[in-house]
Structure 1
Amino acid sequence: MVEILSLAKARKARDRAAERRTAEENRVRFGRTRAERDTAERESADAARRLDGHRRDDAGDDPSA
C-alpha cells in the first residue's frame, strides 16, 4: 500500500534541507569559532599594547625647547 504524502510537509522538508546545505557552506567559508575570534582579538590587543610600550616620547628630545 502507498503511504499518503503531504505536499506541504515535503516542500518544507526540501526547503529545510536546502537551508542546512547553505548554512554548512557558510560555516566552512566564513566560520571561525568563538575561541578563535577571542584569541585573535587578544593577540591583536597585546601587539598594540607592546607597540605603544615601545614608543619614544619626543617631547624630551627637542633641543630647541
Structure 2
Amino acid sequence: MGEVVNLNRMRKARAKAEAATQAAANRVRHGRTAVEKENDRRAEARRQALLEGARRTSPEEEGPA
C-alpha cells in the first residue's frame, strides 16, 4: 500500500513553490538599487537637455515674417 497523502497540503505546497518561483523572477526583473534608478534618471535628464538644446523653433513660434 502507498503512503497516505493529504491532498490539501500537497496543493498548498505546490502553490507556495510556484509563488516563490514567481517572486524570484520579479526580484530579478524589478529589483534595482536606488543608485541605479538615480543614474537612470540623471541619464534621462541629460538626454532631454541635449534634445531640447538641439530643438529648432517652429514657424508658429517666430510669428509673421
Give TM class, smaller chain.
0.3 to 0.5
Q: Could you state the TM-score of these two structures normalised by the residue count of structure 2?
A: 0.48
